[in-house]
């Protein structure tokens, strides 16, 4: 069985405790690797290595840093199929989605590399003569990155690539359910030429490894994607040391379907949004808010299409939906189905763990007669469970869409431009799709949410550069005399 070590100061190193943990294929329950379990001491060593390498890396011209990323992007492209298969084995998502995950990593790597020749500040006139004003972007320092398991290479790449091109040095902790993909990513970046100490990887438990990253005084910023619960804790702890914190958290994303919608198009979007990645996306569509006039026909079509989904091991090309990530997630989904039934929602389809299959499989599940205040309509389930909620008109539909604490993604299907613009203006979410599902973010646009989904930062696009840099304002006075702003004018 292959053993995977920590990567500290350019060396693959055993954990100081000597402890290990297992990586399991969620479709077959086979052991696929043994990982070294880091402790606080290992994290301190990783942080120290990152701190030591900061001066040299941040002084390397950004276009040269970017050349390494261009090389890494080409290597990711060459290894796309192999990495995709590994992802399906490690995380369970079906192969065509795994290829999309790797492609996202390739895209963000090229995009961030391109930023090496931009990293723009601004120039603006001064209010005084013979004086020049501008802003420049500076790296933050040692940055801690903590990632979840549902996009095992895309999310690490969304953080690592802009953080590196901006000149930061990194301590990276991947999710314990999907560390091998992260190890492969670090291998590629190292082979592409990232100098020792610049990128350090520590695998192990959130409550030890993650916690030390959050508490270590030398770490100046923490970028976290994961659950609301962990995100709240990280924000509270890290802000005590005035660290910069960016949070990308959960969602309870709605699709609104109006009575003037193209119903078949909407069904395609619901199936993809609710059951793609087995519902384990922060942007998954777990609520479908339907105009009452079309509810019966929508339901009939939805049931028909859901019955056609093939559930199984995602390595087979005919499979539409793979397993969920682990046993505790499987139990959590089953618990929410019970809660839904007890609350009075009607279970129309699915609702069961698929016992004959060896792995962690759950049936695609549909609830109707769901009221907006039920727990299944409010809380993130993170599984293949969708709730249908009735609405009388666009205003009620938008009110229902906004009645949750999250605000990540949202969608409306309607042929009426007024409905579409109302949704754009009034839905409380970081992302709104018109006549498309809640999932499908593109890497060159800002990605993130409002309310409890985050704390205002955005990944993707140039906003990712904002996440991983500090602004410095520069005043250059070449008048040769003391000039006082606000005083020596007019």
**Residue 12 or residue 21: which is nearer to ligand NAP going by CB?**
21
The distance of closest approach from Cβ of residue 250 to ligand NAP in the complex, given in angstroms and rounded to an integer, is 3
The distance of closest approach from Cβ of residue 454 to ligand NAP in the complex, given in angstroms and rounded to an integer, is 6
Q: Which residues bind ligand NAP (CB under 6 A)?
A: 146-151, 155, 173, 175-177, 205-207, 210-211, 214, 225-227, 230, 233-234, 248-251, 282, 380, 382, 408, 453
The distance of closest approach from Cβ of residue 240 to ligand NAP in the complex, given in angstroms and rounded to an integer, is 14
Could you tell me the CA-to-CA distances from 486 to 126, 131, 176, 404, 490 in Å, in that order? Answer: 11, 14, 55, 47, 10
The distance of closest approach from Cβ of residue 249 to ligand NAP in the complex, given in angstroms and rounded to an integer, is 5
**Residue 149 or residue 413: which is nearer to ligand NAP going by CB?**
149
**Residue 57 or residue 468: which is nearer to ligand NAP going by CB?**
468
The distance of closest approach from Cβ of residue 252 to ligand NAP in the complex, given in angstroms and rounded to an integer, is 9
Using DSSP bridges, classify how beta strands 6-8 and 11-13 pair: parallel, antiparallel or unpaired.
antiparallel
SS3 at position 88:
helix
**Residue 6 or residue 298: which is nearer to ligand NAP going by CB?**
6
Rounded Cα distance between 294 and 288, Å, is 12
The distance of closest approach from Cβ of residue 464 to ligand NAP in the complex, given in angstroms and rounded to an integer, is 12
Q: Taking every pair of C-alpha atoms in the chain, what is the biggest distance, in angstroms?
A: 83
Catalytic residue among 248, 363, 380, 459: 248
**Residue 116 or residue 148: which is nearer to ligand NAP going by CB?**
148
Residues 206 and 234 sit within 8 Å (Cβ to Cβ): no
| Alpha-helical regions (H) of 32-153 | 40-59, 62-78, 80-91, 95-115
Phi-psi region of 330 (alpha: psi -120 to 50; beta: other; left: phi over 0): alpha
Residue 244: strand pairing partners: 221
248 is a catalytic site residue: yes
Token pair for residue 244? 């910069």
Sheet bearing 31-36, strands edge to edge: 3-4, 31-36, 20-24
Neighbouring CB atoms inside 10 A of 272's CB total 18
282 is a catalytic site residue: yes
SS3 at position 295:
helix
The distance of closest approach from Cβ of residue 194 to ligand NAP in the complex, given in angstroms and rounded to an integer, is 21
The distance of closest approach from Cβ of residue 224 to ligand NAP in the complex, given in angstroms and rounded to an integer, is 7
Residues 6+ apart with CB under 8 A from 367: 340, 345, 346, 347, 348, 376, 385, 386, 387, 388
**Residue 76 or residue 146: which is nearer to ligand NAP going by CB?**
146
**Residue 234 or residue 285: which is nearer to ligand NAP going by CB?**
234
Catalytic residue among 115, 282, 459, 467: 282
Buried b (16+ CB within 10 A) or exposed e, 140-153: bbbbbbbbbbbbbb
Q: What one-character-per-residue DSSP string does 431-454 give? A: --EESS-S----TTS-B--EETTB
Neighbouring CB atoms inside 10 A of 80's CB total 16
**Residue 107 or residue 177: which is nearer to ligand NAP going by CB?**
177
Could you tell me the CA-to-CA distances from 211 to 48, 49, 249, 263, 422 in Å, in that order? Answer: 16, 18, 17, 47, 42
Residues 266 and 300 sit within 8 Å (Cβ to Cβ): no
Which residues are the active-site residues? Answer: 248, 282
């Amino acid at each position: 069985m292959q053993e995977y070590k920590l990567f500290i100061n350019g060396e693959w190193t055993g954990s100081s405790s000597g402890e290990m943990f297992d990586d399991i294929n969620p479709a077959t329950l086979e052991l696929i690797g043994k990982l070294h379990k880091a402790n606080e001491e290992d994290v301190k060593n990783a942080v120290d290595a990152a701190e030591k390498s900061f001066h040299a890396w941040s002084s390397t011209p950004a276009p040269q840093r970017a050349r390494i990323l261009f090389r890494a992007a080409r290597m990711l492209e060459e290894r796309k199929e192999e990495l995709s298969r590994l992802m399906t084995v490690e995380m369970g998502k079906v192969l065509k989605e795994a290829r999309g995950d790797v492609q996202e990593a390739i895209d963000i790597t090229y995009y961030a590399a391109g930023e090496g020749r931009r990293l723009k500040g601004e120039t603006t006139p001064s209010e005084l003569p013979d004086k020049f004003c501008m802003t420049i972007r500076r790296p933050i320092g040692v940055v801690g990155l903590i990632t979840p398991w549902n996009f095992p290479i895309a999310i690490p790449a969304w953080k690592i690539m802009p953080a590196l091109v901006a000149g930061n040095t990194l301590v990276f902790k991947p999710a314990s359910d999907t560390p091998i993909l992260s190890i492969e990513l670090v291998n590629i970046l190292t082979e592409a030429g990232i100098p020792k100490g610049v990128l350090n990887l520590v695998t192990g438990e959130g409550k030890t490894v993650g916690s030390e990253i959050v508490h270590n005084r030398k770490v100046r910023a923490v970028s976290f994607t994961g659950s609301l619960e962990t995100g709240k804790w990280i924000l509270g702890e890290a802000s005590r040391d005035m660290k910069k914190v960016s949070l990308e958290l959960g969602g309870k994303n709605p699709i609104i379907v109006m009575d003037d919608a193209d119903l078949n198009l909407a069904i395609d979007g619901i199936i993809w949004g609710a059951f793609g990645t087995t519902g384990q996306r922060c942007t998954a569509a777990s609520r479908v808010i339907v105009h009452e006039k079309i509810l019966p026909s929508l339901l009939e079509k939805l049931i028909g299409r859901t019955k056609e989904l093939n559930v199984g091991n995602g390595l087979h090309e005919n499979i539409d939906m793979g397993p969920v990530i682990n046993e505790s997630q499987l139990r959590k989904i089953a618990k929410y189905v019970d809660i839904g039934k007890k609350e009075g929602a009607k279970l129309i389809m699915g609702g069961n763990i698929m016992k004959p299959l060896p792995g962690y499989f759950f049936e695609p599940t549909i609830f109707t007669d769901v009221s907006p205040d039920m727990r299944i309509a409010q809380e993130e389930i993170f599984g293949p469970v969708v709730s249908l909620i009735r609405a009388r008109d666009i205003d009620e539909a938008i009110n229902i869409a906004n009645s949750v604490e999250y605000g990540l993604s949202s969608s409306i299907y309607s042929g009426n431009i007024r409905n579409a613009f109302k949704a754009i203006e009034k839905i409380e979410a970081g992302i709104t799709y018109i006549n498309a599902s809640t999932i499908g973010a593109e890497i060159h646009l800002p990605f993130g949410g409002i309310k409890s989904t985050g704390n205002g930062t955005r990944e993707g696009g140039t906003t990712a550069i904002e996440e991983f840099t500090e602004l410095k304002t520069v005043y250059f006075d070449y008048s040769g005399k003391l000039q006082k702003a606000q005083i020596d004018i007019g």
